[in-house]
Amino acid sequence: MASFPPLKNDLILRAARGEETERAPVWVMRQAGRYLPEFLAVRAEHGFFEICRTPELAKEVTLQPIRRYSGLLDAAIIFSDILVVPQAMGMEVLMNPGPHFPDPLVTPADIEKLTKEVEVDKELGYVYEAITHTRKALNGEVPLIGFSGAPWTLFSYMIEGGGSKTFQKCKSWLFKYPEESKALLDRIADVCVDFLVGQIKAGAQLVQVFDSWAGELAPHHFEEFSLPSLQRISSGVRAKLAAENIPAVPMTLFPKGANSQIALCAEKAGYDVVSIDWCIDPADACRAAGYKVALQGNLDPNVLYGGRDAIEREVKRMAERFRGGKKAKAWIANLGHGITPGVDPEDMRWFLECVHKYSAA
């Protein structure tokens, strides 16, 4: 593993380990993205996946929010996409403008079209290179987060052929072909394990698993189909790191929409942090998690369109509900989903400043 400059801000690592912190660390999902004019300038010259696959470009856009909000953000997240995993498995993915699979999986027979033995380090080595370059360029200012999609979410994209409002095709697989579905979910999970381990070896100091469509499953189907593959990832990553004598890093699970499953995730999924969306009260989430894991979240991203007074009011409320009148403990402040393209960057700055103010003891 490469050597890196010493870390100057370990707030998010301490919070992820369940420790009490002087204030809540804060970062934002999709913080390197379309709301920033500097990102749009890069995007005007380069395709989306071109940026992902070019380490220098991925490094540049990862660093953009860190530069703009220096001293306000407590983590960087590498610029990439969850759909690089299906690409590594042999599927074509286009962005026009949203993700599109020209040749999705229609029946279990189509699984034969996938690469049988995925050389993850070869296929996704460009992500590792971007992580190493970015970690060095950060010079210890903040930790760097790596990530992967969750098997159920990737499975959904691979079968639906893109985003979906009904999830009819992928859910039909669960009902018609439950065993074949579970086998494919495990196969995706194994690629995710290797991918996350590779990111950690390249320099990622935390990793997050995005189960963006977790809330589309009934609770018993989440437990049957999504949870086992999430467990396979958390246990698999830790086992592989231990086998190579590499220290474990905090792992975050974001099961968006599955707020009724917080207790289950905290108890059984095997992650250090569970990220929650905005449709649950933080105090209720803390009770559901039983204080067994750290929590991340959970401001509604649309609050950032509501003006400074609304942002301050809602951040204050969020902090009070997470903190319960005490010091910040095991809480990583974030939005309940990714920041959206129309947000004024200065309103994002105000959000970060309010988190600093209201999450402090």
Residues marked active site are found at: 30, 34, 43, 81, 157
Residue 333 DSSP SS3? strand
Under DSSP, the state recorded for 6 is P
Burial level of 18, CB count in 10 A (0-12/13-18/19+)? Answer: middle
CB atoms within 10 A of CB 44: 7
Retrieve residue 47's tokens.
């395709």
Q: How many residues does the chain have?
A: 361
Residue with structure tokens 């930790």? Answer: 143
Burial level of 264, CB count in 10 A (0-12/13-18/19+)? Answer: middle
Helix, strand, coil percent values for the chain (each to nearest 5): 55, 10, 35
Burial level of 103, CB count in 10 A (0-12/13-18/19+)? Answer: exposed
Cβ–Cβ < 8 Å for 345, 68: yes
Four-point Cα dihedral 308, 310, 312, 317, nearest 10: -170
Q: Within 139-226, where are the H helices?
A: 151-160, 168-176, 178-202, 219-221
Distances (CA, A) of 348 to 64, 155, 171: 14, 33, 37
Retrieve residue 122's tokens.
């070869």
Distances (CA, A) of 58 to 61, 133, 137: 5, 9, 12
CB atoms within 10 A of CB 67: 11
Separation of first and last alpha carbons in the chain: 38
Residue 257 DSSP SS3? coil
